């Protein structure tokens, strides 16, 4: 049996001209769809002086208003719905830990679209029909678990729906069912590796790791690949675009995240002005969904920072544009003593120190109006706080305190890792 290189070769290898023509056709449909079926969208377009007939070229996308997370929250729970409620088959939502949750609803066609995007990702990672994939995100309101499940069904994989937690059981399932691929958050692999090292477990059948929901450095990826014996892939997607994998993943060539351009239009804009930036310049990524029915998005500002790497054909044969792996979020930037930095930069610096492990915390302490930073990190014997602080000073330009903990000492989470903690001593928090 020949191995699949593509799940949907026609869609994944379209010429740039074919993609542009398809995007325009679908953009026209999208604007007509939201105009006819949703008061919120119709009022927003009317306020911008736009009617469906005004969309004549892809350049007209620039005239459409942006959509933000606040818009989703203001329309909670289903104020942005563009299909009859009786057509809805599924829903997922964000945690709402920083406010009203973001809800995404799905028609049958939307689930099929999600499964299509995820199947492309899973086959691009090297999985083949019949291979077992262990799904480690929670199968619940968070979209991750169901995204991997829908994609696995579509691609003809053997789904092992382990959900989150119970690491000993995770390892037993991986071993007993000869699992070839895992879907997870990358921070959870630290816990898997701890138990593997403690109990002398090896997983010779495991070859693929697909990791989403949190950004991670190349050093962390190298470490995970080396210990687990896998190829690690960075998958992209969010609740607002329809879930994990909807906006793409990197391929084996590792030259950027392929965006499924037949499904989404990608823009990179200046986070302050909202104006487009040239290819290669870092800015905020903006997505327009072209085929989603229930809750489509038009020019959704993700707050994620990246850049367009290339619009040329990739070494893997795919022709979609490639964006860089997400380097941070506009609202994740930390400012300490006049120095701006992102949590991912701290991770990259820490991974350069021999003996330092991937588990860490960034503690921001405010007292008398002054904020200091402390970095808690797990490390092997011989690594000192002075070593950590000195290296971070050289890389980041300021001197945080470096507190070193034994491996396994810092608290773990089953889902997305929390890296930044704030302590306001002035408020007694």
- How much is the average pLDDT of 240-247? 97
79 and 40 in contact (C-beta within 8 Å)?
yes
Residue 132's pLDDT is 98
- How much is the average pLDDT of 82-89? 98
Pick the CATH number of 9-15+78-331 from 3.40.50.12780, 2.70.160.11, 1.20.120.1770, 3.40.50.620: 3.40.50.12780
User: Do 9-15+78-331 and 333-424 fold alike per CATH?
Assistant: no
Integer Cα distance of 162 and 177 in angstroms: 12
Round the CA-based radius of gyration of the chain to a whole number and report it.
Answer: 22
* Residue ranges covered by each domain of the chain: 9-15+78-331, 333-424
DSSP 3-state percent helix, strand, coil across the chain (nearest 5): 35, 25, 40
Tens digits of per-residue pLDDT, 374-402?
888 998 988 888 888 888 888 877 777 77
- Band the pLDDT of 341: cuts 50, 70, 90: confident
Q: Which tops the pLDDT comparison, 406 or 151?
A: 151
CATH number of 333-424: 3.30.300.30
In terms of Cβ atoms closer than 10 Å to its own Cβ (0-12, 13-18, 19+), residue 5 is middle
| Cβ-based neighbours of 409, under 8 Å, separated by 6 or more | 378
Mean pLDDT of the chain: 91
Tens digits of per-residue pLDDT, 87-122?
999 999 986 555 789 999 999 999 999 999 999 999
- How much is the average pLDDT of 413-423? 74
Tens digits of per-residue pLDDT, 185-237?
888 898 899 899 999 999 999 999 999 988 788 888 998 999 999 999 999 99
Q: Which tops the pLDDT comparison, 396 or 362?
A: 362
pTM exceeding 0.75? yes
Strand pairing of 334-336 and 339-341? Answer: antiparallel
Integer Cα distance of 258 and 253 in angstroms: 11
Whether residue 2 has pLDDT greater than 70: yes
What are the residues facing 257 on neighbouring strands? Answer: 250, 323
Residue 329's pLDDT is 77
Integer Cα distance of 54 and 44 in angstroms: 15
Tens digits of per-residue pLDDT, 347-360?
888 888 888 888 88
- Band the pLDDT of 241: cuts 50, 70, 90: very high
Residue for token pair 């620039």 = 62
Residue 389's pLDDT is 85
**DSSP readout, 10-50?**
HHHT--HHHHHHHHHHHHHHHHHHHHHH-HHHHHHHHHTT-
Integer Cα distance of 288 and 421 in angstroms: 33
Residue for token pair 């823009």 = 267
Residue 199's pLDDT is 94
- How much is the average pLDDT of 263-271? 97
247 and 304 in contact (C-beta within 8 Å)?
no
In terms of Cβ atoms closer than 10 Å to its own Cβ (0-12, 13-18, 19+), residue 195 is middle
Residue 427's pLDDT is 66
Q: What percent of the chain has pLDDT over 90?
A: 69
Q: What angle do the packed helices 167-176 and 188-199 form, to 10 degrees?
A: 70
CA distances from 169 to 162, 177, 407 (A): 8, 12, 21
Integer Cα distance of 118 and 326 in angstroms: 19
Residue 415's pLDDT is 63
């Amino acid at each position: 049996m020949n191995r699949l290189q593509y799940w949907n070769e026609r869609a994944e290898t379209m010429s740039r001209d074919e993609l542009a023509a398809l995007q325009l056709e679908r953009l026209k449909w999208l604007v007509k769809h939201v105009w006819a079926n949703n008061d919120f969208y119709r009022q927003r377009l009317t306020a911008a002086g736009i009617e469906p007939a005004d969309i004549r070229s892809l350049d007209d996308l620039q005239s459409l208003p942006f959509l933000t997370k606040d818009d989703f929250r203001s329309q909670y729970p289903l104020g942005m719905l563009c299909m009859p409620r009786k057509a809805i088959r599924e829903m997922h939502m964000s945690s709402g830990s920083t406010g009203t949750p973001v809800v995404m609803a799905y028609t049958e066609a939307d689930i099929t679209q999600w499964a299509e995007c995820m199947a492309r990702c899973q086959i691009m990672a090297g999985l083949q029909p019949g291979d077992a994939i262990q799904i480690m995100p929670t199968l619940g309101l968070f979209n991750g678990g169901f995204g991997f499940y829908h994609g696995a069904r579509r691609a003809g994989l053997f789904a092992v729906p382990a959900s989150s937690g119970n690491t000993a059981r995770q390892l037993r399932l991986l071993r007993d069912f000869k699992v070839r691929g895992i879907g997870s958050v990358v921070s959870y692999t630290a816990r898997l590796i701890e138990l593997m090292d403690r109990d002398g477990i090896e997983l010779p059948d495991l070859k693929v790791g697909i990791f989403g929901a949190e950004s991670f450095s190349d050093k962390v990826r190298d470490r995970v690949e080396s210990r687990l014996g896998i190829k690690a892939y960075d998958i992209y997607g969010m609740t607002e675009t329809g879930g994990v994998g909807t906006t793409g993943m990197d391929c084996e060539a590792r030259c950027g995240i392929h965006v499924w351009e037949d499904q989404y239009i990608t823009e990179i804009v200046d986070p302050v002005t909202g104006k487009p930036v040239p290819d290669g310049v870092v800015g905020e990524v903006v997505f327009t969904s072209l085929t989603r029915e229930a809750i489509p998005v038009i020019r959704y500002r993700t707050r994620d920072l990246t850049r367009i790497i290339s619009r040329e054909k990739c070494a893997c044969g795919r022709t979609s544009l490639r964006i860089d792996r997400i380097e941070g979020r506009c609202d994740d930037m930390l400012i300490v003593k006049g120095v701006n930095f992102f949590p991912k930069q701290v991770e990259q610096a820490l991974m350069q120190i021999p003996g330092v492990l991937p588990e860490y915390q960034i503690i921001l302490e405010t007292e008398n109006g002054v904020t200091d930073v402390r970095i808690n990190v797990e490390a092997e014997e011989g690594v000192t706080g002075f070593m950590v602080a000195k290296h971070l000073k050289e890389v980041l330009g300021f001197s945080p305190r470096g507190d070193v903990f034994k491996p396994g000492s810092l608290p773990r989470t089953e889902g997305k890792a929390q890296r930044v903690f704030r302590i306001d001593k002035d408020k007694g928090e």
